[in-house]
Amino acid sequence: MPSTFIGFRGVGFWAPDAHTETWMYLVCAEIDRMAEPPGWLLAAREWWFVLATVRINGVMNPSYDAHLGEDEARIGLVQEIHERVLRRFESFGEKMPRLSVPEGVWAFDGSVPTELFAETFASFAGVLRGEGKDLEPDVVA
């Protein structure tokens, strides 16, 4: 399974691309629930939706550095969103539910164990808090 290194502020983790697609889809759905997301977040959401739907193996970087930079308010908001997504994922129980995704992209039939995604999804929530492995000099994130 193709994987991409997901990094932010010098730390990160390797994520299977299928997990990144699913996480980004859930993040976009959470942003869509917001009453009035700021413009910069809508721009980030556009890229994250591409990652969720286009199937571009090996280059699934959410580009946190580009979208969030050093802006603590942006980082904090996306951390909150990630934490809400993680809680939503944890509420699924033992199986991923059917998700409403664009036709022909990917789908779950309700039989995929959530435990397959748990570690990766926790890493997505943690990387914005500075949790993860230090970037190696030859890794670009």
CA 117, distance to chain mean position in Å, is: 11
Over residues 61-89, the pLDDT tens digits come to: 999 999 999 999 999 999 999 999 999 99
Q: Report pLDDT for 137.
A: 45
Report the alpha-carbon distance of residue 49 to residue 37 in Å, rounded: 15
Tell me: the pLDDT tens digits for 87-131?
Answer: 999 998 898 887 755 555 566 677 778 898 899 999 999 999 988
In whole angstroms, give the CA distance from residue 115 to residue 112.
9
Rounded to two decimals, the pTM is: 0.87
Rounded CA-CA distance 62/100 in Å is 21
Winning range, highest mean pLDDT, from 12-21, 50-59, 131-140:
12-21
DSSP-derived pairing of the beta strands 3-8 and 133-134: unpaired
